[in-house]
C-alpha cells in the first residue's frame, strides 16, 4: 500500500477512507483516472486528532481522569481543560503560569522555581501521558517543551491512578506526530528583561518498511533574565516522538525529552514587615563582621548556627549595624548615644535594646520589587530525562490492552550564598498494564483493570542548618562576604562538607510500589452513570543517610537507617445524573492514601503515606450547539503534607467552591471566566519555623536565623493556611476583529490574603490585567502579549511551611513578549 501523505488533499483523504470498506483485492486496483492514496482508519483518526481542542472544554475528549473518550461534561470531577489554543492565548510556558486561567489554580512561589503546581491552595502532582512523574518540589521548573495540552484535575487523583499529593494533578498531553502531511513551525520570541526564546517543531509521516508511522521533534532554547535582578531562566529542551501502526491491531507511541535548566533561586525580599509590603520600606544595615579565613573568607558558620550565635556572645551580637554616615545624618544625637559605637570595628553604629526602649526606630530605605535576596554567583541547575511508551492492542473488538512505561531521571545542584544548598538525584521507573473491556453485562459497563509496578530512587543532600535570611542587606550595591554563609559542598575548617546529618534533611531511599487496580464505568440508564475506582497497593521502602554526608558519625548513620512496608487500599465512587442531554449533576466520594515524598522524592517512613479523603458535588452545563460550557463544584478534602525539617506529616483540610464558564456567542468572540473561594486548615499544631518579627526584632536578631515554635498563634486559632488568595475571579475576552488579526484582554482579581500563620502580614488585593494582539497572513503569525498591563503592585503568595515570616516576593511589573511564528 502506497502512502502519499505529504500533500494529501481533502478529497483524496475522503476517497481513501471510503475504500476502507472495500475488500482487500479491490484496494489493490485503483480506479481509472489516477492514483488514489489508501489510508487505514488508524491514519485518518490520528490525522484528525492532532488539531483536537479549540476554546471550549468540550472541543476534545478528556482521557486524564476515568479513561479515554469522555467529554468533560460526563466527568464527575472538576477539571480545567487547556487546549493548544488556550496554551497559546494565555502564554502558558510553565507551572507558574497556570494561575492565569481556571478556578482553584494559583501561582505560588517556592524560592522562585515552580516545580509543582498549586491547586486548591496546596501542592499537586504532575502526570505525563497518564503516568505520574517524579515528584520534585522546586528542583526545576517542569519543561513545557514536550506537551501539546494540559488537563488540570483538582482534588486527590482517582484511586486507580495511585497516591499523589493533595491538590490534584496536571496531566501533560505530549506532542503527537502528524499522519496527514509534513508540517512544522519556527517560533522566535523577544521580550522584557533580555528574554529570548526559539522553538523549532517539525513532524512528518513516514513508512517503516510497510508500516505507516509518523514522527515529531521539538527543540526549544531559552536565554533569559527576569524582572528580579540576578535571577535568570535559561534552558534547552529536546523532544522527539514516534507513532507506528505495527500491525492492523497493534500500535506504538513512544517519545523522550531531555531538559537542561540553568538559573538560580529567587527567595524574594527578606526582612519582611507590613511597611515593606505596603510601601517598600526596607530595613537597612548588616550585623557584625564575622568573616573567617578558616571558613574560606566567608562568614564563620559556627557563629551563626546554634549554639554559636546564642551562647557566650555579647548582648547585641546579632543586631544590625548602620553605616556611620547614615546613622549620624538620620538619628538624633541623644538616641545615637544609646547605640553601640562600632565605627572602629565595623564602620558604624549597632542597634541596642536601650535605643528602641527610648523610642528609636529602625531605619529604612525605599526598595523596588526587582531587588531580591539573590547572588549572581548562585546557581540552581537541573537535568531531566523523560521517556514514555504506549503499546496498544485492539485485537478484540470489545477489548483494548495497553502497556504503559515511564522512565524519568532528574539531577539537580543548587547553591545560594545566603546559606542554603541542595543536591538531588531521582530515578523513577514504572510499568503499567491496562485492560479495557467494553460492553460488560448485565449493565452497559466499561471495565478497566490492571496492575502496575513502580520503583523510585531518591537521594537528597541538603544543608539548611543556618539560612540566616535577614543577615544580608539587599539594598547594598555589593554583596558582602559577611553575608555569605558556607553551605553544602563548602568545607568547614576540618575539611568536611556541610550536608545535614539528619534523616529528612539528607536522605537516600528506595521505594517499591506494586498495585492492582480497577475502574468500572457503568451506564445504568440514559440518565444515570456510576464510576467505581479501586486500588490495592503494597509498598516497601528503605532509607539511610547518603554516603556523601561528610560530618555524619557512625551513630548518626545507624540511627538514620529505616526500612518498612505498608499495605493500603483506596476507593472512590462517583454518580452522574444527566438532567438533560446538555446538563449533568454529580457526586464523588473518595478515601485512600496519598504519597507525600520529601525533597528530591525521598521516602523514609510511614509518615510519607497519608490518609486522603475527598467529597465533591458539582453541576455542568453545555449548550447543544457547542457555544457554552459552565461548571460548578463544591468540595471538601482532607490530606497531609510531609515536612522535611521535622521529618513528619502534617494533616490538612480544605474546602471551597469553584465556577468556570466558557462562552462563544459567535465564531469571532469568546469569553472565559472563573471564580473560586477556598480555605485550607492545618489540623496539627505548628512546629519549628521562621519566627514572625517586628522591625525592632529584625534589627536586633538578623545576624542568625531566628526560629522557634508557636503551636497555635493567638490570631489564628483555627490555623487557617496562608500563602495563596482564598478568593479569586478571572476573566478573559477574545475577539477576532478581522480574518487577519484579533485581540484578547483579561484580568485576575485576587482578594487580600494573609502571608503568615500569625496573621500579622497581609498581602493586598489586586487586579492584574493582561492583553495580547495577534496578526496572521499566510505562513507568518505575530503575537504581542503584555502581562500586568497597568503595573499593579501585587505579590506572589508563598508556601508558608517554613520561611514565610522571613521572605516575600513582589510580582513583576509590566512585561511584554513579541512572538513571530513561521509555519511550513
**What φ, ψ does residue 593 adopt, rounded to 5°?**
-130, 140
Share the mean pLDDT of the chain.
91
- What's the confidence (pLDDT) of residue 11? 33
The answer as to whether 29 is a domain residue is no
d(C-alpha 817, C-alpha 735), whole Å: 20
All three cell numbers of 95? 507551572
Same-domain pairing of 390 and 358: no
Same-domain pairing of 112 and 239: yes
Are 417 and 378 in contact, with CB atoms under 8 Å apart? yes
Give yes or no for residue 796 having a pLDDT over 50.
yes
Give pLDDT tens digits for 488-512: 999 999 999 999 999 988 999 999 9
**What φ, ψ does residue 700 adopt, rounded to 5°?**
-95, -15
Are 506 and 549 in contact, with CB atoms under 8 Å apart? yes
The answer as to whether 63 is a domain residue is no
Q: Is the peptide bond before 442 cis (omega within 30 degrees of 0)?
A: yes
Same-domain pairing of 261 and 307: no
Give yes or no for residue 674 having a pLDDT over 70.
yes
Give pLDDT tens digits for 82-92: 999 999 999 99
- What's the confidence (pLDDT) of residue 41? 58
In angstroms, the Cα distances linking 760 to 197, 692, 757 are: 41, 8, 8
Are 39 and 207 in contact, with CB atoms under 8 Å apart? no
Are 776 and 798 in contact, with CB atoms under 8 Å apart? no
d(C-alpha 161, C-alpha 23), whole Å: 42
Percent of the chain with pLDDT over 70: 93
How sure is the predictor about 14, in pLDDT bands with cuts at 50, 70 and 90?
very low
Same-domain pairing of 296 and 394: no
Same-domain pairing of 579 and 603: yes
Give yes or no for residue 116 having a pLDDT over 90.
no
pTM of the model: 0.91
Give yes or no for residue 15 having a pLDDT over 80.
no
CA 66 to chain centre: 22
The answer as to whether 74 is a domain residue is no
How sure is the predictor about 52, in pLDDT bands with cuts at 50, 70 and 90?
low
The answer as to whether 347 is a domain residue is yes
Cell 549597632 sits on residue: 350
The answer as to whether 18 is a domain residue is no
Give yes or no for residue 658 having a pLDDT over 80.
yes
Residues sharing a CB contact under 8 Å with residue 583, sequence separation 6 or more, in sequence order: 619, 620, 621, 622
The answer as to whether 397 is a domain residue is yes
Domain around 772? 79-121+128-265+378-464+500-683+719-823
Cell 486561567 sits on residue: 101
Last residue of a domain, which of 305, 334, 366?
366
Give pLDDT tens digits for 536-586: 999 999 999 999 999 999 999 999 999 999 999 999 999 999 998 899 999
- What's the confidence (pLDDT) of residue 338? 98
The answer as to whether 40 is a domain residue is no
Are 504 and 598 in contact, with CB atoms under 8 Å apart? yes
Cell 531562566 sits on residue: 233
Same-domain pairing of 235 and 92: yes
- What's the confidence (pLDDT) of residue 43? 62
Same-domain pairing of 587 and 671: yes
In angstroms, the Cα distances linking 377 to 233, 249, 331, 774 are: 14, 56, 35, 39
Q: Which of 92-96, 157-161, 650-654, 812-816 has the highest mean pLDDT?
A: 812-816
Q: Which of 466, 469, 468, 471 is closest to 492 using CA atoms? A: 466
Give yes or no for residue 791 having a pLDDT over 80.
yes
- What's the confidence (pLDDT) of residue 49? 52
In angstroms, the Cα distances linking 590 to 157, 336, 517, 650 are: 9, 64, 14, 20
In angstroms, the Cα distances linking 6 to 175, 180, 207 are: 19, 7, 12
Same-domain pairing of 244 and 290: no
Same-domain pairing of 392 and 504: yes
Please state the rounded mean pLDDT for residues 125-145. 91
- What's the confidence (pLDDT) of residue 300? 96
Give pLDDT tens digits for 179-210: 999 999 999 999 999 999 999 999 999 999 99
Least confident range of 239-243, 625-629, 694-698, 769-773: 625-629
Are 309 and 290 in contact, with CB atoms under 8 Å apart? no
Same-domain pairing of 675 and 647: yes
Cell 515529531 sits on residue: 216
How sure is the predictor about 53, in pLDDT bands with cuts at 50, 70 and 90?
low
CATH number for the domain harbouring residue 645: 2.40.170.20
Give pLDDT tens digits for 776-785: 999 999 999 9
Last residue of a domain, which of 312, 346, 366?
366
Same-domain pairing of 295 and 343: yes
The answer as to whether 37 is a domain residue is no
Are 683 and 652 in contact, with CB atoms under 8 Å apart? yes
- What's the confidence (pLDDT) of residue 593? 86
Same-domain pairing of 627 and 518: yes
Total count of domains within the chain? 2
Last residue of a domain, which of 317, 338, 366?
366
- What's the confidence (pLDDT) of residue 165? 76
Amino acid at each position: 500500500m502506497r502512502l502519499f501523505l505529504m500533500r494529501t488533499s481533502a478529497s483524496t483523504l475522503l476517497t481513501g477512507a471510503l475504500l476502507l470498506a472495500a475488500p482487500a483485492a479491490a484496494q489493490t486496483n485503483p480506479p481509472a483516472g489516477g492514483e488514489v492514496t489508501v489510508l487505514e482508519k488508524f491514519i485518518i483518526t490520528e490525522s484528525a486528532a492532532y488539531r483536537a481542542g479549540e476554546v471550549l472544554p468540550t472541543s476534545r475528549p478528556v482521557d486524564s481522569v476515568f479513561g479515554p473518550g469522555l467529554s468533560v461534561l460526563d466527568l464527575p470531577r472538576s477539571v480545567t481543560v487547556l487546549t493548544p489554543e488556550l496554551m497559546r492565548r494565555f502564554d502558558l510556558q510553565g507551572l507558574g503560569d497556570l494561575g492565569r486561567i481556571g478556578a482553584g489554580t494559583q501561582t505560588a512561589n517556592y524560592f522562585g522555581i515552580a516545580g509543582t503546581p498549586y491547586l486548591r491552595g496546596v501542592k499537586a502532582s504532575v502526570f505525563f501521558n497518564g503516568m505520574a512523574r517524579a515528584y520534585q518540589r522546586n528542583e526545576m521548573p517542569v519543561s513545557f517543551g514536550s506537551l501539546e495540552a494540559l488537563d488540570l484535575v483538582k482534588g486527590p487523583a482517582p484511586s486507580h491512578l495511585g497516591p499523589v499529593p493533595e491538590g490534584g494533578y496536571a496531566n501533560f498531553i505530549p506532542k503527537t506526530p502528524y499522519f496527514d502531511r509534513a508540517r512544522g513551525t519556527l517560533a522566535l520570541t523577544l521580550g522584557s528583561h533580555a528574554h529570548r526564546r526559539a522553538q523549532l517543531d517539525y513532524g512528518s509521516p513516514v513508512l517503516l518498511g510497510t508500516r505507516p508511522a509518523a514522527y515529531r521533534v521539538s527543540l526549544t532554547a531559552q536565554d533569559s533574565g527576569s524582572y528580579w535582578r540576578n535571577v535568570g531562566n535559561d534552558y534547552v529542551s529536546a523532544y522527539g516522538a514516534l507513532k507506528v501502526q505495527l500491525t492492523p491491531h497493534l500500535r506504538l507511541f513512544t517519545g523522550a525529552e531531555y531538559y537542561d535548566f540553568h538559573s538560580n533561586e529567587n527567595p524574594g525580599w527578606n526582612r519582611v514587615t507590613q511597611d515593606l509590603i505596603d510601601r517598600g520600606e526596607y530595613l537597612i544595615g548588616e550585623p557584625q563582621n564575622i568573616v573567617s579565613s578558616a571558613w574560606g573568607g566567608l562568614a564563620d558558620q559556627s557563629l551563626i548556627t546554634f549554639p554559636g550565635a546564642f551562647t557566650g556572645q555579647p548582648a547585641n551580637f546579632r543586631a544590625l549595624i548602620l553605616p556611620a554616615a547614615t546613622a549620624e545624618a538620620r538619628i538624633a544625637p541623644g538616641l545615637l548615644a544609646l547605640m553601640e559605637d562600632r565605627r572602629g570595628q565595623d564602620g558604624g553604629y549597632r542597634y541596642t535594646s536601650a535605643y528602641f526602649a527610648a523610642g528609636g526606630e529602625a531605619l529604612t530605605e525605599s526598595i523596588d520589587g526587582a531587588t531580591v535576596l539573590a547572588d549572581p554567583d548562585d546557581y540552581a541547575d537541573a537535568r531531566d530525562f523523560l521517556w514514555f511508551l504506549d503499546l496498544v492492542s485492539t485485537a478484540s473488538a470489545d477489548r483494548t490492552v495497553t502497556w504503559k512505561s515511564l522512565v524519568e531521571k532528574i539531577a539537580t545542584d543548587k547553591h545560594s550564598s545566603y546559606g542554603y544548598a541542595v543536591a538531588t538525584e531521582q530515578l523513577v521507573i514504572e510499568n503499567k498494564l491496562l485492560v479495557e473491556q467494553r460492553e460488560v453485562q448485565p449493565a452497559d459497563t466499561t471495565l478497566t483493570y490492571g496492575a502496575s509496578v513502580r520503583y523510585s530512587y531518591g537521594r537528597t543532600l541538603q544543608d539548611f542548618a543556618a539560612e540566616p535570611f535577614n543577615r544580608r542587606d539587599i539594598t547594598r550595591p555589593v554583596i558582602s562576604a559577611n553575608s555569605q554563609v558556607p553551605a553544602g559542598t563548602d568545607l568547614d575548617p576540618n575539611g568536611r562538607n556541610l550536608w545535614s546529618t539528619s534523616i529528612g534533611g539528607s536522605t537516600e531511599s528506595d521505594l517499591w510500589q506494586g498495585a492492582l487496580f480497577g475502574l468500572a464505568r457503568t451506564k445504568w440508564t440514559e440518565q444515570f452513570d456510576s464510576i467505581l475506582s479501586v486500588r490495592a497497593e503494597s509498598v516497601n521502602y528503605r532509607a539511610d543517610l547518603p554516603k556523601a554526608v561528610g560530618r555524619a558519625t557512625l551513630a548518626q548513620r545507624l540511627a538514620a537507617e529505616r526500612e518498612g512496608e505498608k499495605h493500603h487500599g483506596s476507593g472512590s465512587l462517583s454518580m452522574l445524573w444527566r438532567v438533560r442531554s446538555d446538563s449533568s449533576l454529580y457526586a464523588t466520594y473518595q478515601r485512600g492514601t496519598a504519597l507525600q515524598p520529601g525533597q528530591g522524592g525521598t521516602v523514609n517512613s510511614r509518615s510519607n503515606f497519608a490518609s486522603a479523603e475527598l467529597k465533591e458535588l458539582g453541576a455542568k452545563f453545555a449548550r447543544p450547539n457547542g457555544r457554552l460550557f459552565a461548571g460548578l463544584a463544591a468540595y471538601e478534602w482532607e490530606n497531609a503534607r510531609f515536612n522535611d525539617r521535622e521529618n513528619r506529616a502534617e494533616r490538612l483540610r480544605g474546602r471551597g467552591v469553584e465556577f468556570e464558564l466558557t462562552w462563544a456567542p459567535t465564531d469571532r468572540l469568546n469569553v472565559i471566566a472563573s471564580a473560586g473561594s477556598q480555605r485550607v486548615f492545618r489540623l496539627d499544631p505548628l512546629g519549628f519555623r521562621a519566627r514572625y518579627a517586628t522591625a525592632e526584632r529584625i534589627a536586633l536578631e538578623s545576624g542568625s536565623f531566628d526560629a522557634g515554635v508557636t503551636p497555635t498563634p493567638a490570631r489564628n486559632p483555627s490555623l487557617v493556611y496562608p500563602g495563596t488568595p482564598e478568593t479569586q475571579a478571572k476573566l478573559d475576552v477574545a475577539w477576532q476583529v478581522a480574518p487577519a488579526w484579533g485581540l484578547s484582554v483579561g484580568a485576575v482579581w485576587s482578594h487580600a490574603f494573609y502571608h503568615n500563620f500569625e496573621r500579622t502580614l497581609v498581602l493586598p488585593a489586586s487586579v492584574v490585567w493582561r492583553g495580547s494582539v495577534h496578526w496572521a497572513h499566510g505562513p507568518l503569525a505575530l503575537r504581542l502579549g503584555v502581562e500586568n498591563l497597568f503595573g499593579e503592585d501585587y505579590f506572589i503568595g508563598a508556601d508558608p511551611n517554613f520561611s514565610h515570616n522571613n521572605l516575600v516576593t513582589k510580582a513583576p511589573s509590566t512585561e511584554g513578549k513579541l512572538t513571530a511564528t513561521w509555519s511550513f
